Structure 1
Amino acid sequence: MKTNLITREGYNKLQQEHDYLWHERRPEVTKIVTWAASLGDRSENADYQYNKRLLRQIDRRVRYLRKRLPDLKVVDYASAQDGKVFFGAWVEIENEQGELKRFRIVGPDEIYGDDVKQYISIDSPMARALLKKEVDDEVLVRTPEGTKEWFVNKINYQIPDWYKIK
């Protein structure tokens, strides 16, 4: 089962997606479907078939968002989190080989899309192992290849300089 936690930014993004799909995209596609249906034979009408399929996809996503949004619990930053890794933290870790990883710990609904390449789910083994850790703490993460050792370099709750959306 997925965790119901989400950052304020993630919640707003899902709400914007819902509003866009429902108020803008769906009416556009509905007009095209109506127009294509008026042309007659729907069995060989590519515009009709494609846009009808697109309309079903939009409706499926809107239904999902309407069901999911009320269940989500928005977690805002609190100053008590400073210095430790909690939900919403930007974290930089390093292993003994010098390999760096940088990411933000977010809810499972936030890890999809082009602009979230450096997000990991709170449900992931890495995020679970990092919770409540501080800078310079050692973190052991169980992976399919075995246990990996990492060290916490940085913890931040604002967007750090090294994070750039491409």
Structure 2
Amino acid sequence: MSKVPLTVRGAEKLREELTVLKTIKRPAVIQAISEAREHGDLKENAEYHAAREQQSFIEGRIKDIEGKLSHAQIIDVTEMDAGGRVIFGATVVVYDVAMDEEITYKIVGEDEADIETGLISVNSPIARAFIGKEVDDSVEVNAPGGTREFEVVEVRYEP
């Protein structure tokens, strides 16, 4: 499997979630299964089946996170010399010509993307269009709603 880019903050968040799953949620669900077993017949024990389902979800998520971290290429943008160009992990402030407003995006890995907070996947059309651009460059993006035009206002390299 190939390496998957991940920002330092994205890797930290995955490690935090993994710690919570292993130290808090896993023991709690094991306790819930134990208590449900004490209630008797397991065939008709809804609490037992719900706890087992939750355990399955937790174990699956643990494996998923461990797999992502083992295949991650953690990129610290603060240690790179990008020469003012937009790269993975950079924060880019753009002017949306049609909307007449400035928008700030941070280009992150697939698993970190959250458009509500301005985190866009490096694989998205908009991020791919910004990669390699620098301040004052114009960028046209073919979006589902049609072509959008942006101007790069600022490029920052922050954690």
TM-score with structure 2 length normalisation? 0.88
Contact 1:3 1:108 in 2 (8 A): no
Read off the aligned partner of 1:150 and give its amino acid letter.
Answer: F
Structure 1 position 137, deviation (Å) = 0.7
Stretches of 4+ moved more than 4 A in 1? none
Read off the aligned partner of 1:95 and give its amino acid letter.
Answer: D
Structure 1 position 124, deviation (Å) = 0.4
Matched, 1:153 2:153: yes
Distance in structure 2 (CA, Å) of the matches to 1:63 and 1:127: 29
Q: Deviations over 1:11-52 (max 9, x none)?
A: 121122112212221011101111111111234433222221
Q: CA RMSD in A?
A: 2.2
Counterpart residue number, 1:84: 85
TM-score with structure 1 length normalisation? 0.84
Read off the aligned partner of 2:97 and give its amino acid letter.
Answer: E
Counterpart residue number, 1:49: 49
Distance in structure 2 (CA, Å) of the matches to 1:2 and 1:83: 28
Give secondary structure in 2 for the equivalent of 1:86: coil
Give secondary structure in 2 for the equivalent of 1:69: helix
Provide the aligned length of Structure 1 versus Structure 2: 157
Read off the aligned partner of 2:72 and give its amino acid letter.
Answer: L
- Compared with structure 1, are the counterparts of its residues 8 and 20 closer, same or farther at alpha carbon in structure 2 (3 Å cutoff)? same
Distance in structure 1 (CA, Å) of the matches to 2:49 and 2:102: 48
Structure 1 position 158, deviation (Å) = 2.2
Give secondary structure in 2 for the equivalent of 1:142: strand
Contact 1:92 1:101 in 2 (8 A): yes
Distance in structure 1 (CA, Å) of the matches to 2:23 and 2:43: 29
- Compared with structure 1, are the counterparts of its residues 133 and 3 closer, same or farther at alpha carbon in structure 2 (3 Å cutoff)? farther
Distance in structure 1 (CA, Å) of the matches to 2:141 and 2:91: 18
Counterpart residue number, 2:102: 100
Equivalences for residues 67-146 of structure 1 within 5 A: 67-77=67-77, 78-97=79-98, 98-111=100-113, 117-146=117-146
List gaps (5 residues or longer) in structure 2: none
Distance in structure 2 (CA, Å) of the matches to 1:86 and 1:130: 8
Structure 1 position 141, deviation (Å) = 0.7
